[in-house]
Amino acid sequence: MRISTMHWQQVEVYLRNDDRAILPLGSTEQHAYLSLSTDSILAEGVALEAAEPLGVPVFPVLSYGLTPYFQAYPGTITLRMNTYLQVVGDILDSLYTQGFRRIVVVNGHGGNGPAQSFVDEWLMTKPDAQVVWHNWWNAPQAWTKIMATDPVASHASWMENFPWTRLADVALPDVQKQPVDVMALRRSGPAAVRAGLGDGNYAGVYQRSDAEMQAIWDVAIAETRALIEGGWRS
């Protein structure tokens, strides 16, 4: 359930019986012809659907992340590393202070990875807390389903093209984009990334059927829900 649909007294009552919370992490960055908020939309969507039948509150998605390599694409916003880690740390500190002890971070953006190491460090000072870092798209079951659907799956390709990340009246290329050396481009700076990637899709077709995407989504929801239910040490 969305924390935004609760008032503080309800959260206080909830904490008397449960100490779980969900924190989605996203980004605002280019996704070729898809929404600039794709990572945030997907992370929050997975978190909400997975947590709903469990009654676990989902906090608003942190919609800005680490994406300096896409700065040449208008609409992309990146935070500095130290800023981002401080924000994540402040959120975790607030949750901990209020009594949340089991937190699932549902991450939707690979560039946010450095925060996972930060979370590990944060936990060293909170021995009674647990934080599970969950990259929803490459968790074992979700990634297996994606690879079985189409092994050429990458940033801004079909893999992130769900009905809820698609934009109305935007035509998608009917081609399979060939891969480029993304890491080499990143080392040359944002302008080189844009020049080398063009529209921003790393590789692969731009869209697959809604039925295939729903099947992937269903696996991701079930996998995330199982983590929220049972991914804790006793």
For domain 3-230, give the fold: Rossmann fold (3.40.50)
Specify the pLDDT at position 95: 98
Q: Domain residues of the chain, as ranges?
A: 3-230
Average pLDDT, stretch 194-198? 96
Q: Which two tokens stand for residue 11?
A: 């959260």
Give 89-127 as a 3 state SS string. HHHHHHHHHHCCCEEEEEECCHHHCHHHHHHHHHHCCCC
Average pLDDT, stretch 130-158? 98
Average pLDDT, stretch 27-53? 98
Using the predicted structure, report yes or no on whether residue 14 has a pLDDT greater than 90: yes
Specify the pLDDT at position 231: 86
pTM: 0.96
Specify the pLDDT at position 234: 79
Per-residue pLDDT band at 198 (split at 50, 70, 90): very high
| Average pLDDT along the chain | 97
